[in-house]
Amino acid sequence: MTRVIHTGDTHIGYQQYNSPERRRDFLAAFRSVVEDAVDDDVDAVIHAGDLFHDRRPGLVDLQGTVDILRTLADADIPFLAVVGNHESKRDAQWLDLFADLGLATRLGAEPVVIDDTAFYGLDFVPRSRRDDLTYDFDALPAEAAHASLVSHGLFEPFAHADWDTETVLAESTVDFDAVLLGDNHKPDTADVLDTWVTYCGSTERASASERADRGYNLVDFADDGTVGISRRGLPSTREFVFVDVELAADEGIDRVQERVRQHDLADAVVIVTIDGEGRPIAPAAIEELAIDRGALVARVNDRRDLPDEDEDEDVSVSFANPDDAVRERIREMGLSDAALEIDETVRSGDLADSNVRDSVERRVRDLRCV
């Protein structure tokens, strides 16, 4: 029997809500999956794309990812993956770099056999290029009793689908026992043409609409030819507190604040959603209350279509001088005299853009010699 962890949509590097802590959360969630893989001694970790949130991950995120993948390598657990739409580059992929380091294998038309299961890969393909796909895969090796396709995209019959799963299965040159997918952050499983097709979901909440617990799939390719898919949650992910408020016509901010106070908000991401009638609400006041009660992040989503009470009044709008605003912010940062000089050089209107770099380099050299 071959037992693997099927994960994906880890979105490492995503600084959600502009919060550095949330950025670290996405890396920590991936680490939790890998620690489970080592503890359970699975045969492989299969990643179905969007390891990173974008194609230019930061150095800290790259270093953290390499460290996590080394944990798998030290435990002799292969990491097999495809490229998702968020991280896809025109040239070599980050996954290729990890492969060169001996930390990962990029799946493709040639099978990678783990125990008695052959894994194939299909990277994310834009909709405009899918008509040219032939779904030609190398033949199933003699030592493999199962075949699984790993891919990234929105496949039928799941939500937001734009990729015909039946076409993929019917035109593929290999008969797959399972299709392990990424891209849809909601976990789900369906039987398509007698083949199990499953999404593992994301490992961290990438949007406020992802209310269910995060986790991954455990997939067993049994000796009797059957495929078993089970779900395992990640209890250590950042807590999200969802406060849903239905306001009556005579209710306002007091009612919303009352509902917020009913929850333990310590270190949580708090999402307040307002429906119903009621009076207009100032989101900043609600968010400030949640932060004062220990929330890491607070956001208010007012779904009501409220009339503009001042729509008939004349409104005067003025804008501050942006240069003055920047100078004020620079003063607040408490920079050294040297840093202030370099800032002035960069923003000077008397210096041609083409000369800025040379001027800054000369000034830095001068400062180093002082």
pLDDT at 345: 58
| Residue 339 falls inside a structural domain | yes
Is residue 316 included in any domain, yes or no?
no
CA distance 47 to 10: 9
Question: What domain range is 259 assigned to?
Answer: 240-302
Eight-state DSSP code of residue 343? H
Q: Is 311 part of a structural domain of the chain?
A: no
Residues known to be catalytic = 86
pLDDT score, position 312: 46
Any idea what the CATH number is for the domain that residue 23 is in? 3.60.21.10
Residues 6+ apart with CB under 8 A from 143: 113, 116
Do 14 and 87 fall within a single domain? yes
Confidence (pLDDT) at 191:
97
Determine, yes or no, domain membership for 183. Answer: yes
Cβ pair 114, 78 in contact under 8 A: yes
Select from 204, 233, 262 the last residue of a domain: 233
Given 270, 302, 334, the domain boundary residue is: 302
Please state, as a whole number, how many other Cβ atoms lie within 10 Å of the Cβ of residue 355.
11
Q: CA 29 to CA 47: how far, in whole Å?
A: 14
Residue 109 in contact with residue 136, Cβ under 8 Å? Answer: yes
Upper half-sphere CA count for residue 212 (Cβ side, 13 Å): 13
> What residues does 179 pair with on adjacent strands?
149, 197
Contacts of 360 (CB under 8 A, 6+ apart): 342, 345, 346
Whether residues 269 and 295 fall in one domain: yes
Q: Are 270 and 288 in contact (CB under 8 A)?
A: no
Q: What is the DSSP string of 235-266?
A: TTSPPEEEEEEEE-TT--HHHHHHHHHTS--T
In 3-state terms, what secondary structure has residue 79?
strand
Residue 315 counted as domain residue: no
What is the pLDDT confidence band of residue 370, given thresholds at 50, 70 and 90? very low
DSSP assigned state of 207: S
**121 and 37 both lie in a single domain:** yes
Using a pLDDT cut of 70, give the percent of the chain over it: 82
- What pTM value is reported for the model? 0.81
Residues 9, 185 contacting (CB under 8 angstroms): yes
DSSP secondary structure letter of residue 12: B
Q: Say yes or no: 141 and 14 in one domain.
A: yes
Residues 209 and 285 in one domain: no
**Interval 154-179: pLDDT, tens:** 999 999 999 999 999 999 999 999 99
Give the residue ranges of the annotated binding site for Mn(2+). Answer: 9, 11, 50, 85, 152, 185
Q: How confident is the model at residue 91 (pLDDT cuts 50, 70, 90)?
A: confident
Q: Where are the alpha helices (DSSP H) in 137-282?
A: 165-171, 253-261
Check whether residue 6 and residue 132 sit in a common domain: yes
**Cα–Cα distance list, 166 to 44, 161, 271, 298 (Å):** 27, 12, 38, 42
Do 83 and 140 reside in the same domain of the chain? yes
User: Does residue 297 sit within a domain?
Assistant: yes
pLDDT tens-digit readout, 314-362 = 544 555 555 555 555 555 555 555 555 566 555 554 545 545 555 555 6
113, two tokens: 């056999």
Return all residues near 243 (Cβ < 8 A) that are at least 6 apart. 259, 260, 263, 270, 271, 272, 273
Predicted confidence band of residue 305 (pLDDT cuts 50, 70, 90): confident
User: 196 by DSSP, 3-state: which?
Assistant: strand
Is the per-residue pLDDT at 10 higher than 60? yes
Compute φ and ψ for 192, nearest 5 degrees: -125, 115
**Residues β-bridged to residue 117:** 114, 146
**Binding-site residues from annotation:** 9, 11, 50, 85, 152, 185
What is the Cα Rg of the chain in Å?
26
309 lies in a domain?
A: no
Q: Using one digit for the tens of pLDDT, what is the confidence trace for 188-230?
A: 999 999 999 999 999 999 999 999 999 999 999 999 889 999 9
Same domain, 267 and 331: no
65 lies in the same domain as 165: yes
46 and 158 belong to one structural domain: yes
* Residue 317 covered by a domain: no
Q: Are residues 108 and 252 in the same domain?
A: no
The number of distinct structural domains making up the chain is 3
337-347 and 322-332 are packed helices; what angle lies between their axes, rounded to 10 degrees? 160
Query: 84 and 43 in contact (C-beta within 8 Å)?
Result: no
Cα dihedral across residues 149, 152, 158, 164: positive or negative: negative
